[in-house]
Structure 1
Amino acid sequence: MPHAEPETRSRLVRTVTGDVAPEALAKIDYHEHLFQISPLLPGDELDDERASSEEAASLVQSGFDAMIDATPIGLGRSPAATVRISAATGLAVIATTGVHHDGHYAPNHWLREWSAAQLVDALVTDVTEGLPPEDAPSRQPPLPGGRRAGVLKAGIGYWSISRFERRTLNAIGQAHAETGAPVMVHLEHGSAAFEVIDILIAGGVEPEATVLAHVDRNPDPYLHADLAATGAYLGYDGFARSKSWPDSVIVECAVRAASMGAARRILIGGDVARRSRYPAYGGMPGLAYLGRRGLPLIERIGGADLAHLVATENPRRFLARF
């Protein structure tokens, strides 16, 4: 049975500079970070607007014209700076609201003091009214001009879902019901995907509105085909990690999963997410890697049609829910 999907011609993608028709976005990188500060990544902070803007420009030069900034609440996201970067580079940015997995927040982090109701209110406000200029323990007046989030995010640990993480998943369900925003879930090493789908379904989030981030960290095409059969999107974002596997493993997994029915469910991103991996901060390979190496390899091995699906048609369909 075909999955019910939003009609992209009548729905919009919510970017930090306003809602746009999906057809206005040619190539979409589904997972990157312009700003991020986490106790799990000491010394790898992304906190320099000039450097992050330079990286965003390199992504545009590599052929992508849009990206999801996947940094949620409490990890140094900077919506005001993100808006400036988008305007300066011409990169359409879809901002994220939500909460990452437990390990990214220190025991005394202010976000842990929020009630469940406060969290839901923050998520809905970010999507419907506007993002705050910066992360802060108390809500700030939203940025003027409709600078809103377009994705809800949660995260879990490796084959574990803590009480903190389950609270987020529950809040995501409530916020999705009020806003219709698409949902991204960080899966540690691609684990517990079906369990997350079940929790989200119970909370009212249909699989077709969900992308399972990092599913390719478990490069099992048979598993991926089964996950795609639920209607969920598959986030492939493990490129340029040759210490774990070559890019060909990821691409061949995607091609195999696509041949088993997952072609319309695969999204691609870089998830570079570290100072030491951004040339503008003194590292490598940077945001441009996906356009210069990742996507061309998909086209070389899987063909032009698959490359168009994973970089254009699929992310448009996933994001166009407003």
Structure 2
Amino acid sequence: MTGAATTGGPATGAVPGCIVRTVLGDVPAADLGPTNYHEHLFQVSPLLPGDELDDEAASGAEARTLVEAGIAAMVEATPTGLGRDPEAVARISRTTGLRVVHVTGGHRTEHYPDGHWLTTESEDALRVRFTADVVDGLPRSDVAGRGPVASTPDGAPVRAGMVKAGVGYWRISACERRVLAAVAATARDTGVAAMVHLEYCSAAFEVLEHLAAGGLPADRVVLAHVDRNLDAGLHAELAATGAYLGYDGPARHREAPDSAILDVLAAVVDSGGLSRVLLGGDVARRSRYRAHGGIPGLDYLPRRFLPRLADRVGDDAVRAVLHENPARILTLAGTDDR
């Protein structure tokens, strides 16, 4: 396996009739294809000055590199209030053929300026907002009153297909607790899965406890950035809860070499955790987009990392990670025609 994301074909492990909610509408989970579970086409945060992703043409060009490298689908992981642009994402999806599942929800507190309206909303107001994003459609732009719903090029609503939360380093703030509770309720009531941003994989068990208290089981949760703490034993324990483990640190060589991530992934596979592994790039920076003159670009994951992973764990395991696992977690729980 060289220079391509996968051996191709649909996700054979997906159950017929199950659906995934993308920005262009609901699709059979079996048709999702090789999936990057965590990426950003648009993002503006006070934590990332100068690294704004706010250019549709550049994001579209970068998305096309994913498709050319063999990735068929991705999760747009930018939640409420951070420069997301659902209509532009829908246009990019239509133009490139890349299937995109868009999140709703909120991020960890530091991503919002003091007094931002999202950080002051009640748990119930957040639940109503996030649920509406899934059921009725994402707002065209993020304002306190939601505003008009975003539309696809065909005039249909652009709906969220996943809900996100974020917590700090060994800290879950009062705002983050409200978001977690609203995320659990939204996922429970609409059938979408939840993604949670972790800082260095801290507070993972505590997050799962908060979500479970809200009626959301671990097998409907993705723990993002587990590879910011390369502890294979911890990862095996988390996989044993049923939670999905999001590995999205390739090309972050200042934090850890790709070889270290590969070592932990191989250990998790050997310990029986293969069915809980997801892969993403989380490039998330203008300075890392080749379309903006940076490197390594969105296609680093399929072109540079995945061939090395296949050499370590084999093509069948890579297929499970790219096809079967994302199709399973992104399938709407409950009725097939939700």
Q: Shared topology, TM-score over 0.5?
A: yes
Q: How far off its partner does 1:245 sit? A: 1.5
Check whether the contact 1:213–1:236 (CA below 8 A) recurs between aligned residues.
yes
List per-residue Cα deviations over 1:141-177 (Å, max 9, x = no partner): 2234132100000000011100010010011111122
Paired residue for 1:297?
Answer: 308
Paired residue for 1:232?
Answer: 243
Paired residue for 1:3?
Answer: none
Check whether the contact 2:103–2:164 (CA below 8 A) recurs between aligned residues.
yes
Q: How does 1:122-161 map to 2 (within 5 A)?
A: 122-144=129-151, 145-161=156-172
Check whether the contact 1:8–1:316 (CA below 8 A) recurs between aligned residues.
no
List per-residue Cα deviations over 1:153-206 (Å, max 9, x = no partner): 000001110001001001111112210110000000111111111111111111
Moved over 3 A (4+): none
Task: Considering fraction of residues, name the structure with more helix.
Answer: 1
Paired residue for 2:211?
Answer: 200
Choose the corresponding residue for 2:37, options 20, 30, 42: 30
In 2: Cα distance, 1:131 partner to 1:108 partner = 22
In 2: Cα distance, 1:199 partner to 1:98 partner = 15
State the one-letter code of the partner of 1:106.
P
Choose the corresponding residue for 2:229, options 208, 218, 224: 218
Unaligned runs of 5+ in 1: 1-5
Paired residue for 2:322?
Answer: 311
In 2: Cα distance, 1:260 partner to 1:282 partner = 41
In 1: Cα distance, 2:40 partner to 2:142 partner = 15
Paired residue for 2:63?
Answer: 56
Choose the corresponding residue for 1:188, options 199, 215, 231: 199
- Secondary structure of 2:16's counterpart equals helix
* Residue identity (%): 52
Whether 2:40 is the aligned partner of 1:40: answer no
Paired residue for 1:70?
Answer: 77
State the one-letter code of the partner of 1:139.
R
Measured at CA, do residues 90 and 7 of structure 1 come closer, stay the same or move farther in structure 2, by a change above 3 Å?
closer
In 2: Cα distance, 1:187 partner to 1:76 partner = 21
Check whether the contact 2:29–2:331 (CA below 8 A) recurs between aligned residues.
yes
Choose the corresponding residue for 1:167, options 165, 178, 195: 178
- Secondary structure of 1:231's counterpart equals coil
List per-residue Cα deviations over 1:220-244 (Å, max 9, x = no partner): 1111111111100000000001112
Paired residue for 1:244?
Answer: 255
Measured at CA, do residues 131 and 160 of structure 1 come closer, stay the same or move farther in structure 2, by a change above 3 Å?
same
Check whether the contact 1:67–1:93 (CA below 8 A) recurs between aligned residues.
yes
Check whether the contact 1:184–1:211 (CA below 8 A) recurs between aligned residues.
yes
- Secondary structure of 1:191's counterpart equals coil
Under a length normalisation based on structure 2, what TM-score does the superposition of the two structures give?
0.91
Paired residue for 2:335?
Answer: none
- Secondary structure of 2:216's counterpart equals coil
Measured at CA, do residues 146 and 11 of structure 1 come closer, stay the same or move farther in structure 2, by a change above 3 Å?
farther
Paired residue for 1:98?
Answer: 105
Decide which moves more: 114-123 or 68-77.
Answer: 114-123
Length, aligned pairs only:
317
Check whether the contact 1:298–1:306 (CA below 8 A) recurs between aligned residues.
no
State the one-letter code of the partner of 2:217.
E
In 2: Cα distance, 1:146 partner to 1:83 partner = 10
Paired residue for 1:264?
Answer: 275
Q: How far off its partner does 1:7 sit? A: 6.5
- Secondary structure of 2:65's counterpart equals helix
Decide which moves more: 168-177 or 208-217.
Answer: 168-177
State the one-letter code of the partner of 2:51.
D
Check whether the contact 1:80–1:134 (CA below 8 A) recurs between aligned residues.
no
Check whether the contact 1:63–1:291 (CA below 8 A) recurs between aligned residues.
yes
Paired residue for 1:273?
Answer: 284
Unaligned runs of 5+ in 2: 1-12, 333-337
Check whether the contact 1:69–1:93 (CA below 8 A) recurs between aligned residues.
yes
In 1: Cα distance, 2:248 partner to 2:14 partner = 26
Check whether the contact 2:162–2:194 (CA below 8 A) recurs between aligned residues.
yes
Check whether the contact 1:155–1:187 (CA below 8 A) recurs between aligned residues.
yes
In 2: Cα distance, 1:237 partner to 1:126 partner = 25
